[in-house]
Amino acid sequence: MSAPGRIAVVGAGLAAVSLCDALRDQGYDGRLALYSAERGLPYDRPPLSKDVLLGKARREDVLLRPEQWYADQNVELHDAAFVRAIRPHDGGVELADGRTSTADRIVLATGGTPRTLPVPGGDDPAVHLLRTWEDAERLRVQLLPGARVAVIGAGLIGAETAAVAVALGCRVTLIDPVPVPLAAVVGEEIAGSLHARHSAEGINVRTAGVERIERRPGRREVLVHLSGQSGAVAADTVVAGIGIRPATELAEAAGLTVDNGIVVQAGQRTSHPNVIAVGDVARQDGHRVRHEHWDAAQRDGETAALAILGRPERAPTATWFWSDRHGSRLEAIGTMTDAERTVIRGAPHDGAFTVFGLRGDRLVATAAIDRPRDIKAARRLIDRAIPVDPAQLADENADLRKLLKG
């Protein structure tokens, strides 16, 4: 397969920029255009719910690449350029302002759109979503000392936002219908320890669904009514962190196969040979879930670049993500429900420990709080399919590096 002469990338998040980076790194010297619906240089999203909300990071601190990189790598960056439609058969890309261009290959890296609260009042102006730089800026100025903040959803974004808000002196209520969020992914032990930290740090944790958001005439606050519970939560600001839906509008309109994401095969290929999809918007055929994580997005970009250039694929690796809250760091590899049994290393009562998930004599998942070395070892043990001895995993005196050497 000969390399295409022109590649257009729709979206400018991590997957998109990783793709551009990998293409140039692999020697691709054709045209490369990046269309970002947002204004300004592409940025990294993880800091939005952490240092950006805390006011510790500015836009220039979270750029994916410095401005000069786009010139050096000859990447045509079009910001505030909303793509209205794509035409797979002739590679057409149509912008909302009427401009059109064509490419030999179109990459859809459109990401996700935060889910809005599907309840009455869910669209109240007091309700914030968090996905973009502008979202973070709007929310940040609300997180004043003493402000009453209700965070709905205690997954990654919700938990991080609640932790930031309480650190900034807000009075925080964290609402989730699941008693121990994240348990399926990281296991009961880690999830339980993390969730308990919220209460210990002064967050009011409510296990409930949300029924409606009520705005009372003439009042600045809203009332968050919980399902099956009396005593609504009064809040000046509400944050909904209840996940994203993949931004598949362009793909659907173009007739691509879409089912909980743009369905992709090996090499991130969609149902049309001229179109590739990467990042949060893509779902690997045969996999139930989309991997909405930083590391997965970066890998998608690399994988797609190699496929576009007809180079051999790299071996797949286990999924990895992290989350920062209350000064602690959660990291997880794989999914704990894939494990038949678990082994704990370290002392759970100290708050810093690791849970290894095994299937037979192989490691399939690992989750840890504040133990980066365990995670790095585990990632390699999983990717290299090295048999492990549970007793050694549990033994703090056994060096995990040595297990890698067999």
Partner 1 sequence: MSTTGTGIRVASVDDIEEGEALKVPAETTGHGDAIAVFHDAGEYFALDDTCSHGQASLADGWIEDGEVECPLHSARFCLKSGQPQCMPATVAQRTHRVEVRDGGIWLHPGEETTA
Interface contacts to partner 1, rule CB under 8 A: 14, 17-18, 21, 44, 64-66, 69, 295, 298, 320, 322, 329, 372-373, 376-377, 401
Query: Between residues 189 and 331, which has the closer beta carbon with respect to partner 1?
Result: 331
Query: Between residues 56 and 99, which has the closer beta carbon with respect to partner 1?
Result: 56
Q: Minimum CB separation from partner 1 for residue 372, in Å?
A: 4
* Pairing assessment for the beta strands 244-246 and 6-10 based on DSSP bridges: unpaired
Strands (E), 14-73: 31-35
DSSP H or E stretch at residue 166 = helix 156-167
Measured distance CA(320)–CA(333) in Å, rounded: 4
The answer to whether 13 touches 279, Cβ cutoff 8 Å, is yes
Q: Minimum CB separation from partner 1 for residue 334, in Å?
A: 15
Query: Between residues 66 and 179, which has the closer beta carbon with respect to partner 1?
Result: 66
Query: Between residues 32 and 224, which has the closer beta carbon with respect to partner 1?
Result: 32
127's tokens = 């309700």
Q: Minimum CB separation from partner 1 for residue 185, in Å?
A: 18
Query: Between residues 50 and 105, which has the closer beta carbon with respect to partner 1?
Result: 50
Q: Minimum CB separation from partner 1 for residue 61, in Å?
A: 10
Return the residue matching tokens 């505030």: 80
3 state DSSP class of 283: strand
Q: Minimum CB separation from partner 1 for residue 167, in Å?
A: 16
3 state DSSP class of 321: strand
Query: Between residues 12 and 172, which has the closer beta carbon with respect to partner 1?
Result: 12
At residue 271, φ and ψ (nearest 5 deg) are -75, -10
Q: Minimum CB separation from partner 1 for residue 404, in Å?
A: 9
Q: Read out DSSP for 107-173?
A: EE---EEEPPP-STTTT-TTEE--SSHHHHHHHHTT--TT-EEEEE--SHHHHHHHHHHHHTT-EEE
